[in-house]
């Protein structure tokens, strides 16, 4: 049975254990979660984050919660299962992997009408494990496809964090770099710090450094300069939801990177598993963008507030990169090219 350290079941399988990503890179702290409220809060506060990782978390979370249900009949169990799933699903709206994984878990219940809770629990455990196992395989394949584009000495600019802790293993956007390092291929990276929550500074630079990749941290507003200097050969970013036409929601600032890349003639790739492609979402306009609290901009990282208390803030967590700016979407099944309506559709046939 495959496991990963940053999202796993406790030894007695009654709790969900996560590496608390808000404490990195300075502290390696684990949190044990048992209630739906704790799980909702962990997603909302980004203690667990990254689209595929949230999906894996959701699968195991529903298994842990279901073990605590008091109901003995199928109908009562199914009702509570659905309620808890809907509750967790409301924690963050943009990454499709959350609802995708919860739907998979719900399907286990709806496809086994009349089964007892004792019969359902092992099936739910298996489904959660399958979500994890599949993600491990998908990330490895995505990393291989991404690495096939790179040659010794290339430098990749990335935004936010789409590494191992945002997924299962390797990651998506930085998976090719980590795989390359394992194989002795010398590659370099620029990591955007990624305002306002600093996933690039706290998580990506930490993961790449640990993996032995030559990484340089930059503020988001320095991307243009390093591109202009000819120091970047590729941009690789992750994704939270890819619409059927290829428009891609990812961490706020990603669309700006794509626009800069186009200006400087640098190929811009989106890397993600097919679980992040939402064929029911026609275009980027149909993606709900999460809005977060102003204190993340004004206060969170400072000893004292850095803006007047009364000033308004706009704090969207994601933006949408237009498909016309994307050179390719790298999934576990290969590299999709424009027109994305066709190449993405073909992934599901």
319 in active site: no
CB of 166 to ligand MRU, least distance (A): 4
Compute the distance between CA of residue 184 and CA of residue 19 in angstroms, rounded to an integer.
28
Binding residue (CB under 6 A) for ligand MRU from 134, 135, 193, 240: 240
Q: Does the footprint of ligand MRU cover residue 250 (CB under 6 A)?
A: yes
Q: Does the footprint of ligand MRU cover residue 172 (CB under 6 A)?
A: yes
Compute the distance between CA of residue 143 and CA of residue 271 in angstroms, rounded to an integer.
9
Q: Does the footprint of ligand MRU cover residue 243 (CB under 6 A)?
A: no
CB of 51 to ligand MRU, least distance (A): 4
CB of 276 to ligand MRU, least distance (A): 7
For residue 349, give every residue at least 6 positions away whose Cβ sits within 8 Å of its Cβ, in sequence order, or none: none
CB of 239 to ligand MRU, least distance (A): 6
Among all chains, which residue has been given the structure tokens 């999906």?
55
Residues 40-59, interacting with ligand MRU (CB under 6 A): 46, 49-52
Which residue among the candidates 135, 240, 247, 319 is catalytic per the annotation? Answer: 240
Nearer to ligand MRU, 84 or 251 (CB): 251
Residues 152-171, interacting with ligand MRU (CB under 6 A): 160, 162, 166-167, 171
Residues 316-335, interacting with ligand MRU (CB under 6 A): 317
User: Dihedral sign, CA of 60, 63, 68, 69?
Assistant: positive
Angle, in degrees to the nearest 10, between helices 117-147 and 74-89: 30
Residues 259-288, interacting with ligand MRU (CB under 6 A): none
Neighbours of 299 (CB within 10 A): 15
The reply to whether omega before 25 is within 30° of 0 (cis) is yes
Nearer to ligand MRU, 166 or 189 (CB): 166
Nearer to ligand MRU, 251 or 298 (CB): 251
The full 3-state SS of 26-64, as one line of letters, equals CCCCEEEECCHHHHHHHHHCCCCCCHHHHHHHHHHHHHH
Compute the distance between CA of residue 216 and CA of residue 240 in angstroms, rounded to an integer.
24
The answer to whether 231 touches 155, Cβ cutoff 8 Å, is yes
Q: Which residues pair with 17 in a beta bridge?
A: 8, 32
Binding residue (CB under 6 A) for ligand MRU from 145, 251, 298, 323: 251
3-state secondary structure of 116: coil
Neighbours of 118 (CB within 10 A): 8
Residues that bind ligand MRU (rule: CB under 6 A) add up to a total of: 19
CB of 332 to ligand MRU, least distance (A): 13
Q: Does the footprint of ligand MRU cover residue 199 (CB under 6 A)?
A: yes
Compute the distance between CA of residue 270 and CA of residue 276 in angstroms, rounded to an integer.
11
Q: Does the footprint of ligand MRU cover residue 178 (CB under 6 A)?
A: no
Task: Please identify every residue annotated as catalytic.
Answer: 240
Provide the binding-site residues for ligand MRU, judged by CB under 6 A: 46, 49-52, 95, 160, 162, 166-167, 171-172, 199, 238-240, 250-251, 317
């Amino acid at each position: 049975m495959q496991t990963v350290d940053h999202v796993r079941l406790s030894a007695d399988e009654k709790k969900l254990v996560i590496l608390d990503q808000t404490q990195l890179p300075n502290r390696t702290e684990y949190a044990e979660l048992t209630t739906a409220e704790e799980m909702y809060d962990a997603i909302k506060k980004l203690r667990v984050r990254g689209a595929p990782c949230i999906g894996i978390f959701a699968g195991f979370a529903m298994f842990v919660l279901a073990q605590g249900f008091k109901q003995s009949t199928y109908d009562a169990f199914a009702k509570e299962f659905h309620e808890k799933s809907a509750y967790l699903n409301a924690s963050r709206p943009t990454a499709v992997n959350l609802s995708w994984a919860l739907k998979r878990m719900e399907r286990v219940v709806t496809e086994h009408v009349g089964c007892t809770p004792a019969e359902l629990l092992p099936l739910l455990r298996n489904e959660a494990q399958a979500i994890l196992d599949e993600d491990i395989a998908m990330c490895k394949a995505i990393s291989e496809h991404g690495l096939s584009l790179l040659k010794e000495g290339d430098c990749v600019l990335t935004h936010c964090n789409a590494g191992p802790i945002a997924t299962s293993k390797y990651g998506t956007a930085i998976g090719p770099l980590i795989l390359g390092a394992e194989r002795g291929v010398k590659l370099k990276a620029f990591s955007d710090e990624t305002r306002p929550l600093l996933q690039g500074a706290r998580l990506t630079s930490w993961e790449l450094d640990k993996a032995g990749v030559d990484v340089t941290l930059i503020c988001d507003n320095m991307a243009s300069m390093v591109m202009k200097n000819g120091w970047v050969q590729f941009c690789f970013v992750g994704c939270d939801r890819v619409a059927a036409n290829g428009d891609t929601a990812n961490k706020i600032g990603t669309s700006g990177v794509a626009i800069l890349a186009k200006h400087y003639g640098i190929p811009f790739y989106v890397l993600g598993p097919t679980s992040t492609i939402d064929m029911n979402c026609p275009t980027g306009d149909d993606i709900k963008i999460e809005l977060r609290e102003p204190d993340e901009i004004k206060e969170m990282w400072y000893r004292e507030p850095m803006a007047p208390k009364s000033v308004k803030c706009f704090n969207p967590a994601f933006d949408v990169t237009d498909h016309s700016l994307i050179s390719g979407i790298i999934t576990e099944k290969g590299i999709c090219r424009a027109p994305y309506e066709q190449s993405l559709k073909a992934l599901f046939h």
